[in-house]
Amino acid sequence: MLILLWQLFVAYFKIGLFGFGGGYAMLALIEYEIVKVNQWLSITEFIDIIAVAEMTPGPVAINAATVTGYRVAGFAGAAIATLGVIFPSLMIAIPAAKLVSHFYHNPRLHRTLSGLYPAVIALIGAAAVVVGRNAVTDLPGALFAAACLLLLFLTRLHPLIYIGAGAIFGLIFYL
């Protein structure tokens, strides 16, 4: 059990350490570590966990770590995975904040950050493709996803409306 807990910590520590761009950008890393490398979850289980992590309050990467850790090793796994994903931020955020505030007007810092933005967008896009490819498996689901995407671009509806509509859609089409 201790080896499993250590593996959970290391996996989520790597995710937290290299997960630039926030929780959604981390999804590709989480999928790689949890599904492909360690094979703790199937892709379907991963998508289910991401859905739960998105619906619960808090950052998606931390929620995913907590749920995955619990699924793999119970309460201790939840605590260890959560600690693993937040620990790098705790180690990096304070010194980084001091450096950024000190060098805020440095053009090199702004160029460096500008270079990170496309990489973050690519990671978010990759996560969307992985989740979408495995979550949208039939025509009704594809049509509902397309309708939601269209509405997201054309309206300013609150995100909870999409979540509620998705729950109702699931009850109607998949129950």
The predicted pLDDT at position 109 comes to: 79
How many independent structural domains does the chain possess? 1
Inside any domain, residue 148: no
Question: What mean pLDDT value characterizes the chain?
Answer: 88
* Closest C-alpha among 32, 30, 92 to residue 65: 30
pLDDT above 90: residue 50: no
In this prediction the pTM is 0.66
Task: Record the tokens describing residue 71, joined without a space.
Answer: 């699924």
Domain-located, residue 157: no
Is it the case that residue 23 has pLDDT exceeding 80?
Answer: no
Q: How far is CA 162 from the centre of its chain?
A: 18
Residue 82 inside a domain? The answer is yes
The 3-class secondary structure across the chain, one letter per residue, is: CHHHHHHHHHHHHHHHHHCCCCHHHHHHHHHHHHHHHCCCCCHHHHHHHHHHHHHCCCCHHHHHHHHHHHHHHHHHHHHHHHHHHHHHHHHHHHHHHHHHHHCCCCHHHHHHHHHHHHHHHHHHHHHHHHHHHHHCCCHHHHHHHHHHHHHHHHCCCCHHHHHHHHHHHHHHHHC
Residue 164 lies in a domain: no
**9 in any annotated domain:** yes
User: Which residue matches tokens 């997960």?
Assistant: 19
The tens digit of pLDDT for each residue in 86-99 reads 998 888 888 888 87
Find, among 12, 31, 43, 61, the residue nearest to 127 by Cα. Answer: 31
Is residue 55 included in any domain, yes or no?
Answer: yes
Average pLDDT over residues 8-15: 94
Could you tell me the residue range of the domain that residue 73 belongs to?
Answer: 2-135
- Residue 90 counted as domain residue: yes
Q: What is the mean pLDDT of residues 6-33?
A: 86
| Residue 40, domain member (yes or no) | yes
